[in-house]
Amino acid sequence: MQKKITYFFIAVFFISFSLKGQRHEIGVQLGMSNLVGDIGRTNYILQKPIGNYRELGIPFYAGILYRRNFNPYQSVRLNLGYSHIQFSDAHAKELYRRNRYLDGSNSIYEADIVFEYNFFPVNEEHKSLLSPYIFGGVGGMLHSTPQLIIDNNQVSEAPYVSALSFAVPFGAGLKYKFNYNWALFGELMFRATFSDSVDYSTVDDKNIKLGDNTLTELEIADMIRNRQIGNPNSNDWVNSITLGLSYSFGRPPCYCD
């Protein structure tokens, strides 16, 4: 699965270079990422950082991007980013979560390919211009996930392992092109993931290891079910709010053959 995702991103990246007559744009993004899952807060954006930085770290997002501008309105963008997220029941609004008092953090490496649409011709570089934009695409995330060992009729946690998950990134932003080649932009990105284990609340079947037991299958199933937290039918979201700076280069701004 990991190889298929890697090949997909490589193919799209080189296909974009094969198109003629477009301009290139590279940039950096910085901001904050947060989790919406079965542990911690449930607001989708602007979650306040949790003060326990020594154990949970500082939530942030950092990334680089390559953008191919097809015309003044439309672009395709490749994002490579890193998010550190923290989550704590102690800061949730729901009473049952605060009473449960679980917490944790995770580090996420991600690659996204998204299509952008600008409402004004901001990619036309003859003049400075401000434009809102929307975007959506596909992505992959590499993150830590828990393991469960059931051995000698006992259940225990094993060290975390890496997991690769698909995600659907989408959102909106505001871009300001200035000084011919430069652009400032800010955006909200929402990522609907295909995983329920970013917050370690669920153990995937492939990460459940069975040893020597005298337990019945029903008893083992009960142990696994008791380990799961929250709603197993609701996957996690990883969302970011960022500011970025990009630089355009390539042939002169003529979007024609």
Q: What is the pLDDT of residue 232?
A: 82
- Per-residue model confidence as pLDDT tens digits over 58-117: 999 999 999 999 888 999 999 999 999 999 999 999 999 999 999 999 999 999 999 999
Q: How far is CA 65 from CA 25, 53, 230, 231, 257, in A?
A: 8, 28, 35, 34, 26
- Per-residue model confidence as pLDDT tens digits over 2-45: 555 455 445 544 444 444 435 899 999 999 999 999 999 999 88
How many distinct structural domains can be found in the chain? 1
- Among 190, 199, 189, 191, residue whose Cα is nearest residue 232: 199
Residue at 14 is within a domain = yes
Residue at 211 is within a domain = no
Residue at 98 is within a domain = yes
Domain span holding position 92: 2-144+158-206+234-249
Segment 147-156 mean pLDDT: 92
Q: What is the pLDDT of residue 144?
A: 96
Indicate which CATH number applies to the domain containing 174: 2.40.160.20
The pTM of this model reads: 0.84
Residue at 135 is within a domain = yes
The pairing of beta strand 154-178 with beta strand 103-118: unpaired
Q: What is the pLDDT of residue 194?
A: 95
Residue at 213 is within a domain = no
